[in-house]
Each structure stands twice: as structure tokens, then as C-alpha cells.
Amino acid sequence: MFDTLLAWLRHLSRICGFDTADAFPAGHPHARTHWNAAYFDIASDVKPEQIERRLCDAIRNTPIVFRYIVNPTPAMQRALFAVLEERVRRGGNTTELVLLLMAAYESPHIIEAMPGLRAAIDGDPYDGQAERVRKVLAFLTQMRAPFDVIELDSYRRRH
């Protein structure tokens, strides 16, 4: 009886939005995506489209939160690409963001935001971390047409 009451209260709490969501609902195409709820204040009654939009906004505002998302959706990855592009244009440090992207791709369940991105990230296992970061940035430069991601050549000319 007590277990039934407790389960019912949990269900009611989730329906009313008193809980904080830490994943998309079961059956959602991105159900494997989850995040640390301590870094994202998303009520459990928020619709999945709004959840993804809020997570993307959080990434654009504070890109380091990308670290707390497991199996980020392609839209979340593109939000990180936008921050990367902005940092390249302003001459900022991109290494940290590329490392976040590379860490996300350690999961076998992540969906590629761009065809070939996983292969670029996996790269040569004998390359050092700095070389892998450089190769991922080069790949993003080549693929800038679909997403207008990065203008690395102009960045190199300035530095």
C-alpha cells in the first residue's frame, strides 16, 4: 500500500512539473540523451521540443555545460559549433570546446551532427590530443557550407 502511494505521488509530482527533468521521455527519438539536472532547471512537464531548445540556449550562453550532457542531440552539437565559430572569429580559445565535443563522441550512441564527424574525431589513435583537436577543427572548416561553422583559414592568417 505504501509503495503504491509513493509511486502515485512521484507520478503526480512529475505530471505537475515539480520534478526536474534529466532526460527526454521514453520513446522519444533522443531518449538516450540525458543531462545533469543540477545544471539545467527544466521542469518535468516541459515538452521535448522546448527541452531541446532550452538546452541549446544554455550551450550558447555557457558552452561548458555541454560537458554535462550525455549523447547530445545534433541540435545541441550545432549549438556548440556556433560557439566554436564565434570563438574562431574573435580569436578565442577553441581547444576546450573541441575537447568537449570529442568527449561526447566517446559514446557509441551519439548521433552525428555532420556526416563523417565521428571518423574525424576518432582519427588516428597514434595522434596526440593537440593533433586530434587540430584535425577536428580542419574537418569542421571543410564542412562549413552546411552549417557555416568555422572559418579556420581566416583565423590562421590573423595568428
Tens digits of residue pLDDT in 13-26 = 666 656 688 999 88
Q: Collapsing DSSP states into helix, strand and coil, what is residue 31?
A: coil
In a domain, 5, yes or no: no
Tens-digit pLDDT profile for residues 30-50: 999 999 998 998 988 899 999
Domain that holds residue 88: 45-158
* pLDDT number for residue 44: 83
Residues 139 and 132: their CA atoms lie apart, in Å, by 10
In a domain, 126, yes or no: yes
Record the cell numbers describing residue 23, joined without a space. Answer: 532526460
In a domain, 19, yes or no: no
Q: How confident is the model at residue 148 (pLDDT cuts 50, 70, 90)?
A: very low
Of 39, 136, 52, the residue nearest 97 (C-alpha): 136
* pLDDT number for residue 18: 61
pTM for the model stands at 0.79
In a domain, 62, yes or no: yes
In a domain, 37, yes or no: no
In a domain, 25, yes or no: no
* pLDDT number for residue 91: 86
Strand spans (E) along the chain:
34-35, 69-70
pLDDT at 155 over 70: no
Strand bridging mode 34-35 / 69-70: antiparallel
In a domain, 23, yes or no: no
Number of domains forming the structure of the chain: 1
In a domain, 11, yes or no: no
